[in-house]
Homo-oligomer: A and B are copies of this chain.
């Protein structure tokens, strides 16, 4: 098989996970990852054997004096790849677009960039086939990915008339020692609705949705409170069955005693997941409720660092033009990572 050559521009929280996920695939390989300065993550890239390219080649000596070999510049890296996954911080990605165009490379951006950067936003469970033949794509954000999966599922099951969703977001990633808040519930934004609804509509344009979002002082996961007005009368057993069958949605059982994001991450850690990652959305079984026949309620926890990672892999595969269905790609991605939804 011809391997798809993937470069990861921006080897940070998302980039390092995408690199490992890509490496685990039988049909892909990492040809390079990039950093801006020597750091623990740069060291890790070396230990994992990923060729390390740097944004500013004049800093090469800085890396090398700390024992981190440098393969070249980001521009050089781009040339070696078939496709670039851009996981630089939000806003930087947009500046990189012309570089990818210059060398005629396919590129995938993350949710920190606007939909317009690629004109196409991706979710494995919703629009895999549309990615085929695309030169540019954007994998939607962690929160939007979580919304896409469950709303698509509910829409397939009963039809979704309207969605009301609240995102209680983590303030900082666990490894981030700078961002807050320390002791506050922050409305982000204060206005209603938040941007998450329109973002979801870049993938599922027909969904009527209003979202609200807050930030709280925690690091592990986001929590979604979801309410959907269904077109048909809901059936709790059916929806639980569909969740169990969904490759990217897990179901947390009541007897586990798991009632929080902390206990859920502990469970992922005990499962031996790399970096304790939860690539699946995690729906709390006991929360799944049908109210007055046509209203579906549920809580789901979203691991912000992980859920988009598997989507990036599928997006690569679709764009690279493999003759494969969404279900096949998802299955291949997950199996290669030993990932089975909890």
- B214→A184 contact, CB < 8 A: no
- B185→A212 contact, CB < 8 A: no
* Chain B CB within 8 A of A241 CB: no
- A287→B216 contact, CB < 8 A: no
Given the known inter-chain contacts A218-B217, A297-B192, please indicate yes or no for A269 contacting B261, CB distance below 8 A.
Answer: no
- B256→A181 contact, CB < 8 A: no
Size of interface on A: residues with Cβ below 8 Å to B: 79
Q: How far is the CA of A196 from the CA of B191 in the complex (A)?
A: 25
- Chain B residues whose C-beta falls within 8 Å of the C-beta of A294 in the assembled complex: none
A residues 294-342 in Cβ contact with B at 8 Å: 295, 297-299, 301
**Looking at chain A's contact residues, is the secondary structure mostly helix, strand, loop, or mixed?**
mixed
Q: Which residue of B is nearest A16, CB measured?
A: B270
Q: How far is the CA of A87 from the CA of B288 in the complex (A)?
A: 36
Given the known inter-chain contacts A43-B256, A212-B299, A269-B275, please indicate yes or no for A182 contacting B184, CB distance below 8 A.
Answer: no
Task: Pull 18 A–B residue pairs with CB atoms less than 8 Å apart, ordered by A.
Answer: A39-B256, A40-B256, A172-B183, A175-B266, A177-B184, A177-B259, A177-B260, A177-B262, A179-B180, A181-B182, A182-B217, A184-B261, A187-B223, A190-B259, A192-B298, A212-B297, A216-B218, A217-B218
- A258→B192 contact, CB < 8 A: no
* Chain B CB within 8 A of A158 CB: no
7 more A-B residue pairs beyond the given contacts A183-B183, A192-B298, with a C-beta to C-beta distance below 8 A: A164-B227, A177-B180, A180-B181, A184-B262, A185-B222, A187-B284, A188-B259
Q: A178 to chain B: closest CB distance in Å?
A: 5
- B225→A257 contact, CB < 8 A: no
A residues 216-233 in Cβ contact with B at 8 Å: 216-223, 225, 227
Given the known inter-chain contacts A178-B180, A217-B217, please indicate yes or no for A40 contacting B266, CB distance below 8 A.
Answer: yes
Q: How far is the CA of A182 from the CA of B181 in the complex (A)?
A: 6
